[in-house]
Structure 1
Amino acid sequence: MKFIIPKSYLLIPAFLGMGACSKYLDVNITPNNPTSVTPAVLLPGAEAGSAFANANELNRFSSVLVQQLTGAANSPATYDIYQTNGADFGNQWAGELYDGALVNYQKLIELGDAVNAKAYSGIAKIMKAYTFSIATDVWGDVPYSQALQGEAFTTPRLDKQEDIYKGNSSLAIQSLFDLVREGIQDLDATSAVKPGNDDIIYKGDLTKWKQAGNTLLLKFATTISRKEPALATSVINEVLTGGTYIKANSSDMNFTFGASVGSQDPRYTYTYVSTFQNDLILSTRYLNLLKSLNDPRLPIFFTKPGTDYVTLDNGFRGTLPTPTANWSRYNKYVVGNSGEGPVRLVTNFERAFMLAEAAIRLGTPGDPQALYTEGITASMTLAGLTSDQITAYLNANPSVATLSGTPEQKIAQIITQKYIAFTGNGLEIWNDYRRTGYPTLQLSQNAAGIDGTLPVRAVYINNEIQRNPNFPNPAPQSNVRVWWDVD
């Protein structure tokens, strides 16, 4: 795999903005490939690559599947009726993940070690683990331990998802948990060079990077908690005992884009600038959910150009509402005033909801009700509500505010609120839906795809199947669960 090393993070949107939707953009071709670079040059582009991977085509795919958005045309319309195949996501696999962010993190680790810039190595290891989690959560078994090695492994093996999460010493596979732990250790090491404004996420604040790394351990533990409850419990207790994790919105791991054309959040570009802007519309089902909960975040998350929201049911095949200018779309909370975003990668509200779920499911420390309330409060605060407004909402809506019923019913409440809080991040919502079954979703109208079922994985890329004999052929289809998905 070759390096894609942009001159700055602002160039990445120009390469990746349309993703797989148009099928015409080859993100593997770049004129920006110098023979040597500094860590400060590599870091912002790598971070932008991870944000793009989260927010671009994979976000459109997953946000439609979990019915926050409805696909009205082009690729989103096919996702909406569960049709996906190996022709989808080639740009995401290569340009945004393996030949994009991941190879830049690998280069950054090598450079950091070579020039005694361990602060950069630590950040790169944390973000490499995060970005590999995107790949394995979407596709299952993927190239991991032999990936990013250049000529040493031009056709890397696919490591089992179980080994990617848990490690396998006999195959020299380091777990995602240990990769993050190693990154956190690097942040404590002496570093001759440290990041500043070239670190778009935290501006060189290494304490916040340690908090983010430990919260990422909570995320990985939560992901596998139903498959490996003992390991998940051990990791969560480790993080809680250490006490260094995200505890405030100000410590959220967010990537903020620029506000000029060519440097914007891909969700903004797609929704408001591109020729594909009428491919997506607010789902009627999501509108109905938030209305049923009297949720004050609804007008903050989505636009309401007229007297009411203009939506479409998932899988609808008929005449689209007109004029398209009145469609309800992502609002500024998701995409920013002019496309800044941010892309919310790991957040305080997520941490609270994860710990609330774990306290019920695994018996880890913490009061589930207090953590659940903390998660709702953190999300509503991010959305701009005052503490008085939040308190008034919770007092007026006790069925939302209070966990009740069986442990499983309480978990359903927690995941539903996490689903709402993560509006704009379809990947995290799809992960939760697959591993828990919450929130309960009815099949789209005109459901097709494999057996008419909602996809639980993406199909391997055709080009990779043809290029690399280690890929299974025929490949598992979209109805085959990934390892950690036990529902």
Structure 2
Amino acid sequence: MKKRIIYLGIVLLAFIVGCTDDFEDINTPKDAVLQVEAGIMFNPLLQNPLRNYQRNINLYPDLFSQYWANTVSGFESPRYEYVDGWIGNQWNEFYTQTLPEANQLIAWYGEDPLHANAMAQLEIWICSEWARMLQTYGDMPYFGAGLGESVAYNSEQEIYYDLFDRLTTAVNNIDPGATDQYAYKKPDGTNYDLLYSGDLDKWKRFGNSMRLRLAMRLANVDPTKAQTEAAAAVADGVMTSNADVAHIPLWSSGWYDYLHQMAFAWNNIRASKTLTDLLYNQSTLGEDPRARRWFAYKDDSPLVGNAEIEGVVNGYDVLPGNSNDFATINLEGGYVGFVGNGTDVSHYLPYMFYSEVLFLRAEAALRGWVAGDANSLYLEGIQASMDFVGVDPANATDYINGLSALSGSNEAQLRQLITQKYIANFPNGVEAWADFRRTDYPDISLPVDGVSSNSSVAPDTWVKRIRYSDNAHLFDAFFMPSSRNTVESDRMDIRLWWDTADTKTKSGGLMSSNF
């Protein structure tokens, strides 16, 4: 009897094994889609920075950079409070949506020679998104992340070094002459590629420009590596004109939760006084001609004569006065304006301006890392910004002629350079906040009503990073750096690797740490 039971067990096991060998085939509908066209997934990946824009960017980097100031009571992120239901989305969406989708595309098409260009474009983009995450949080799960399992948190240095390699390889893998390869085109001839509509030469320049941005991020903490990567990126070819600007178009059928919603429709931000003051004190001309391209007033009252555009001081607990007394976005103006009927949105989210690349080159030249005259590149950067925003050429010339040339110590010249870069990068708050933390320029005020007692930022101290999300602490605490593996220790005044100096050490408006 015992032998018979064993025999039956063997037969049953063999039957089960035999069935499970083709279990997936049997249980998969014949009309199921097992692999989608690459462009269908690449298109929403390019829209990732727009997802939850208010909660992920506007309530944090946009306010921390002081391009905008909050006007709504109860929103305490300008006073450095962390709200997981807001900024926590950025972490969660990246690791549960953006990164797994990119990994899936690589799994499907990464070894296909006919998708080599498409995969290189994807690689440049996902490296750029990694960089955006990295400058927000610091050490992160990187190697092996996005594949369904928790992995160790890698150091910023490890990740930056790998991103340099990945960007270099991706740029080198793009072959604009390979017209037989797959391109991100829809059946109707339009393009899934929202950045450059399939222009591979522009993708190469964007990849090199991103490499330059990351190189300069390391200028104070790892200057040897920074110089090597900056020089190589410039030599390989960075952006050459405003036609190379990387920006994401907004339209009614895509993500369009952007500045016009926060500034005008929802009425919860106004221009920051930090920025508006700089629009009046840089040139002997007086008002920066970009000011009225960017800003207006909600009640449509005209700015008469020499009346200045006024911004809000950052960090009020309760805004004194009426928010309509302060400038808001100019819906009909320059880069951040839009034309449409409320449904056909036709403006853009900036990712990298050509002017930024010129300022990066100017800083690299100031440090002696690349060829070129720092002052000439600095002035070219301002001109590129004016041109892109649509300033009258004569007004742009008058403004630039009224500026002081770069002069004084390297530190003094850097302050001038970063201040103009800050203005030109508007409204890219993500980059402006990163530049302030790296260089401590321009002067950004502490919250006027003080750092919130509910924040993890010490009083009279600037916010330096975003803490890890609640989900990360729930599932990844074992893998986090030991100094940040509890909610209490995961503070937002911890400096990132490349943020090497304390802003409070300024003397006469200058740091002593950038050279």
State the TM-score, normalized to the length of structure 2. Answer: 0.79
What's the CA shift string for 1:52-108, capped at 9, x where partnerless?
Answer: 477762243112112221112267x4122222265541211122x222333322222
Note if contact 1:54-1:425 (Cα within 8 Å) is conserved in structure 2: no
Could you tell me which residue of structure 1 aligns to residue 321 of structure 2? 321
What's the CA shift string for 1:336-386, capped at 9, x where partnerless?
Answer: 334433112122101100011111134421100110011000001111013
1:232 to 217, 220, 226: 226
How far off its partner does 1:51 sit? 4.5
**Corresponding residue SS for 2:76:** helix
1:337 to 325, 336, 339: 339
Could you tell me which residue of structure 1 aligns to residue 16 of structure 2? none
Per the alignment, do residues 325 and 439 of structure 1 end up closer, same or farther by CA in structure 2, a change over 3 Å counting? closer
How far off its partner does 1:463 sit? 1.4
1:117 to 109, 115, 120: 115
After TM superposition, the structure 1 = structure 2 runs for residues 136-151 of structure 1, keeping only pairs within 5 Å, are: 136-150=134-148
1:353 to 342, 356, 359: 359
How far off its partner does 1:312 sit? 2.2
Note if contact 1:67-1:283 (Cα within 8 Å) is conserved in structure 2: yes
Could you tell me which residue of structure 1 aligns to residue 494 of structure 2? 480
Counterpart CA distance in 1 for 2:106 and 2:54 is 24
Per the alignment, do residues 409 and 53 of structure 1 end up closer, same or farther by CA in structure 2, a change over 3 Å counting? farther
What's the CA shift string for 1:224-244, capped at 9, x where partnerless?
Answer: 1111111111112212322x2
How far off its partner does 1:261 sit? 7.0
How far off its partner does 1:326 sit? 5.9
Bigger drift between 116-125 and 43-52 goes to: 43-52
After TM superposition, the structure 1 = structure 2 runs for residues 102-113 of structure 1, keeping only pairs within 5 Å, are: 102-113=99-110
Counterpart CA distance in 1 for 2:310 and 2:263 is 15
Counterpart CA distance in 2 for 1:362 and 1:110 is 42
**Corresponding residue SS for 1:460:** coil
1:223 to 195, 217, 222: 217
Counterpart CA distance in 1 for 2:485 and 2:165 is 31
1:436 and 2:423 correspond: no
Could you tell me which residue of structure 2 aligns to residue 68 of structure 1? 67
How far off its partner does 1:272 sit? 3.3
Note if contact 2:52-2:257 (Cα within 8 Å) is conserved in structure 1: no
After TM superposition, the structure 1 = structure 2 runs for residues 130-279 of structure 1, keeping only pairs within 5 Å, are: 130-150=128-148, 154-166=149-161, 175-188=162-175, 192-196=181-185, 197-242=191-236, 244-258=237-251, 260=252, 263-273=255-265, 277-279=266-268
What's the CA shift string for 1:212-233, capped at 9, x where partnerless?
Answer: 0111110110111111111111
**Corresponding residue SS for 1:398:** coil
Note if contact 2:76-2:317 (Cα within 8 Å) is conserved in structure 1: no
1:49 and 2:42 correspond: no
| 2:43 partner letter | P
Could you tell me which residue of structure 2 aligns to residue 287 of structure 1? 276
Counterpart CA distance in 1 for 2:173 and 2:106 is 10
Task: Note the residue ranges of structure 1 that are not aligned, 5 or more in a row.
Answer: 1-32, 167-174
Per the alignment, do residues 123 and 430 of structure 1 end up closer, same or farther by CA in structure 2, a change over 3 Å counting? same
Note if contact 1:157-1:470 (Cα within 8 Å) is conserved in structure 2: yes
How far off its partner does 1:207 sit? 0.7
| 1:49 partner letter | N
Per the alignment, do residues 112 and 262 of structure 1 end up closer, same or farther by CA in structure 2, a change over 3 Å counting? closer
What's the CA shift string for 1:160-212, capped at 9, x where partnerless?
Answer: 1110012xxxxxxxx10111112113312856311231111111111110010
Greater Rg, structure 1 or structure 2?
2
How far off its partner does 1:112 sit? 2.8
After TM superposition, the structure 1 = structure 2 runs for residues 81-100 of structure 1, keeping only pairs within 5 Å, are: 81-84=79-82, 88-95=86-93, 97-100=94-97
State the TM-score, normalized to the length of structure 1. Answer: 0.83
Counterpart CA distance in 2 for 1:410 and 1:211 is 27
Counterpart CA distance in 1 for 2:150 and 2:273 is 44
Which aligned runs of 4 or more in structure 1 are off by greater than 6 angstroms? Answer: none
| 1:213 partner letter | G
Per the alignment, do residues 319 and 179 of structure 1 end up closer, same or farther by CA in structure 2, a change over 3 Å counting? closer
Note if contact 1:256-1:342 (Cα within 8 Å) is conserved in structure 2: yes
Note if contact 1:455-1:478 (Cα within 8 Å) is conserved in structure 2: yes
Note if contact 1:82-1:447 (Cα within 8 Å) is conserved in structure 2: no
**Corresponding residue SS for 1:404:** coil
Per the alignment, do residues 247 and 219 of structure 1 end up closer, same or farther by CA in structure 2, a change over 3 Å counting? same
Bigger drift between 42-51 and 200-209 goes to: 42-51
Per the alignment, do residues 74 and 92 of structure 1 end up closer, same or farther by CA in structure 2, a change over 3 Å counting? farther
1:303 and 2:292 correspond: no
% identical equivalent positions: 26
Counterpart CA distance in 2 for 1:341 and 1:144 is 33
Could you tell me which residue of structure 1 aligns to residue 424 of structure 2? 421
Note if contact 1:46-1:102 (Cα within 8 Å) is conserved in structure 2: no
Bigger drift between 101-110 and 199-208 goes to: 101-110
